[in-house]
Structure 1
Amino acid sequence: MFRRTFWFGTGMAAGVWATTKVNRKLKQLTPDSLAATAANKALDVGARVRDRAVGFALDVRDNMAQREAELDDALGLKAPVDGELPALRHHAAIENSKDPKSVVDDSTSYTTYSYNRNEDH
């Protein structure tokens, strides 16, 4: 009689366990539960991608600043600047005395050109 009671109890426990597992799985497979699970996973993936993108952006910014400093040093852009501006050019690079549009001003000794867009060409 004890054997029958033992196996009866074992069968009941196995049935309760199996029923509980099946009910949990069925609740997980409902449309609402599937949508919530998918949304949670999407949020997790989005957070991981954002973290990696932020890390990448910070790395790019640091490397960009380092490279800019290297270029500044190589080109001498950080060197002290003289207070003087370069001298003005007194003569045009190419003078065309036959050009009717050129006007020579004796006081400045350089050629100026008329840039009137409405003139006939």
Structure 2
Amino acid sequence: MVDLDFERRMNPWLFDSSGNLTDAAKKQFPDLAAAASGTAAPAYTPSVPSGAPAVTVSVEALTRAATNVDTLKTKFAQACKQPSAHVSAVDSLLETPATTAANGTKQGLADGAVMTRAIHA
């Protein structure tokens, strides 16, 4: 609901000397014009620029996306509750034959990472 008295106090430039909305204000603010004339405010109708692509909404696609979000949320929450399991998984990856042969030990891999950071710093 529009309060014209409030608008007169806050936006006096919208009104002429007799307190009526100016023609420019009526065009810019149709809801104020409707309130001033005592009619219902016009419904909002968005304008679509010419040449704009049409958008089609698929309920199935939105439902599938919502399900995917819920699944990701659940998996993320479960993963965050088990950080030690992830540390163990990374630790086991560090013990692969390729890394052990290249670096001798897991500590060798860590030392190599520190050296790389020191060189590039």
Both proteins in one fold, TM over 0.5: no
Q: Per residue, is there more helix in 1 or in 2?
A: 2
Give the TM-score, by structure 1 length.
0.31
Give the TM-score, by structure 2 length.
0.31
